[in-house]
Structure 1
Amino acid sequence: MSTLKANKLTLSYGGANIFEDLNLTIPEGKISVFIGSNGCGKSTLLRSMARLLKPQSGSVILNGADIARLSTKEVAKQLAILPQGPTAPEGLTVLQLVKQGRYPYQSWLQQWSKEDERCVQQALHATGMTELAERTVDSLSGGQRQRAWIAMTLAQDTDTILLDEPTTYLDLTHQIEVLDLLFELNQSERRTIVMVLHDINLACRYAHNIVAIRNQAVYAQGQPEHIINAELIEKVFHLKSHIIPDPIYGTPLCIPHGKGHRAGEAPLEAVAL
């Protein structure tokens, strides 16, 4: 049984429909990645599935219930979302930021508890941020800052985590660091993770399930090795490419066609060895 579904979802932005009657099922306990060209609606769809964007029609089903009928705190106890490029107030420490993840569990009757403290410390440990807990968020490197925000989402202790382009603005080392962290969380805790990623090769490496979006619809969905091919890349990204197995991981590796080889040199396949 899936924890998250879109049922005949119609979304609009600026008066124009982005999706119409969209049906989508997110596999439970897996990593799903939305891919598609710029402006295709990946982030809009992700935000709607977190109840940050009200649909024109249709519904998002979270653990069997219409998400629109749940209170904000009820949603936050079941689903966490990390938007693109989050910012923290100046001077806020990592520990203070991560504690914000326990907000859904606080009330006049329920103040800070041992369970809250356990979840915060566990989130810091899982993201490797324990030693940096007293550092201010604005003093961290890009990769450290992203890990701090992920720690905050983990402190919510939800089974489902949504992340909008979590590797944006990070160098390659920090991209791999963040994606490795999310992969390990999925493997060790079976959390359902849904991400928007721009890098098709990283999406193929880390995703169990890819959702390719084109023309206001899901063009294809499934395991990377089952759906990623040159035809899909051309249809979805308007790019000719060659798909080969990744020499290390065996996942699909997209090699774009272009004029990238140095002037006067033949492409690699034309070189006689």
Structure 2
Amino acid sequence: MKANSLSVGYQEQLILKDLNVTLPKGKITVFLGSNGCGKSTLLRTLARLLKPQGGNVVLDGQDISKQKTKDIAKQLAILPQGPVTPEGLTVLQLVKQGRYPYQNWFKQWSEEDEKAVQKALESTRMTELQDRAVDSLSGGQRQRAWIAMTLAQDTDIILLDEPTTYLDMTHQIEILDLLFELNETEGRTIIMVLHDLNLACRYAHHIVAIRDGCVYAEGEPEEVISPAMVHEVFNMTCQVACDPLFGTPMCIPHGKGRCLQRIQQQEGAQNEREMSYSS
């Protein structure tokens, strides 16, 4: 999947500007960037929810704007940020919505649909909760229910807009572990927007750093994440170390105020020790 010279805007404001990006098949890609840089706009355009003002999105060699909506829905699924569930809707009823692209006047609910739904529930470990109302679940369980719906859609590509937003650290890891497992065991192409640089480095095979509607850098985490990139894209000073558990890049922000004062104090103490040793 790739975007060619993509320009997208809202009214007269251009958000994406002649953007080019290629997303590797069967890998996990993460879009990174500051608020308002165009990450979600790019994701929504890839899913054909937004119409580009220039350029195009190509899927399996074809311009998605020239394909039928149901055909697109059989190739990619998108989970938007903060989806809202109708009150009282059960997990099972929600997951069944993922089979909509396969329904028509001539083909109603089938054994194939049932198998896809049950597999989605099992993959997300939601089988025991399938009769619970979605709005009665915890944040992590609710997000797993929505992911189950996208899995029931049975697409090779899944796009997710900030799937860990509003979740505590435990549930963030739970959701990202689930997506990583889906990629590893089923070869699904996962494309998502994340804010946490360190989690992005741990889980992504491919990172796209976006700045002001353009691709600033893309590649493996080790190729993209650097103090210079973080400063240019996020306007933040940091050090980049090696994650002791995963061996991936780990950003350590310098911060401001008290944090910066502490760093300066530590550097001063280190300098004093070095001077005492030399004397």
TM bucket, shorter chain: over 0.9
Query: Is 1:73 aligned to 2:70, yes or no?
Result: yes
Q: State the distance in 2 between where 1:197 and 1:264 align.
A: 29
Query: Is 1:204 aligned to 2:201, yes or no?
Result: yes
Cα 1:128–1:271 change in 2 (3 A) is farther
Aligned match of 2:36: 39
Instruction: Give the TM-score normalised by structure 2.
Output: 0.93
Cα 1:269–1:205 change in 2 (3 A) is farther
Query: Is 1:56 aligned to 2:57, yes or no?
Result: no
Cα 1:247–1:116 change in 2 (3 A) is same
Q: State the distance in 2 between where 1:181 and 1:46 align.
A: 20
Q: State the distance in 2 between where 1:231 and 1:108 align.
A: 56
Structure in which a larger fraction of residues adopt helix: 2
Aligned match of 2:131: 134
Cα 1:12–1:113 change in 2 (3 A) is same
Aligned match of 1:177: 174
Q: State the distance in 2 between where 1:109 and 1:269 align.
A: 73
Cα 1:71–1:268 change in 2 (3 A) is farther
Q: SS of the residue aligned with 2:37?
A: coil
Instruction: Give 5+ residue unaligned stretches, structure 1.
Output: none
Q: How many corresponding residue pairs? A: 270
Aligned match of 2:7: 10
Shifted more, 65-74 versus 36-45: the winner is 65-74
- How far 1:114 sits from its partner (Å)? 0.8
Instruction: Give 5+ residue unaligned stretches, structure 2.
Output: 274-279
Q: State the distance in 2 between where 1:74 and 1:211 align.
A: 27
Query: Is 1:167 aligned to 2:164, yes or no?
Result: yes
Amino acid at match of 2:62: A
Amino acid at match of 2:188: R
Query: Is 1:121 aligned to 2:118, yes or no?
Result: yes
What pairs up with 1:206-245 in 2 under 5 angstroms? 206-245=203-242
* C-alpha distance after superposition, 1:119-157 (max 9, x if no partner): 000000000000000000000000000000000000000
- How far 1:64 sits from its partner (Å)? 1.4
Instruction: Give the TM-score normalised by structure 1.
Output: 0.95
Q: State the distance in 2 between where 1:226 and 1:9 align.
A: 24
Larger Rg: 2
> 1:261·1:267 contact (CA, 8 Å) conserved in 2?
no
Aligned match of 2:277: none
Q: State the distance in 2 between where 1:224 and 1:45 align.
A: 20
Query: Which aligned runs of 4 or more in structure 1 are off by greater than 3 angstroms?
Result: 259-273
- How far 1:229 sits from its partner (Å)? 0.6
Cα 1:102–1:165 change in 2 (3 A) is same
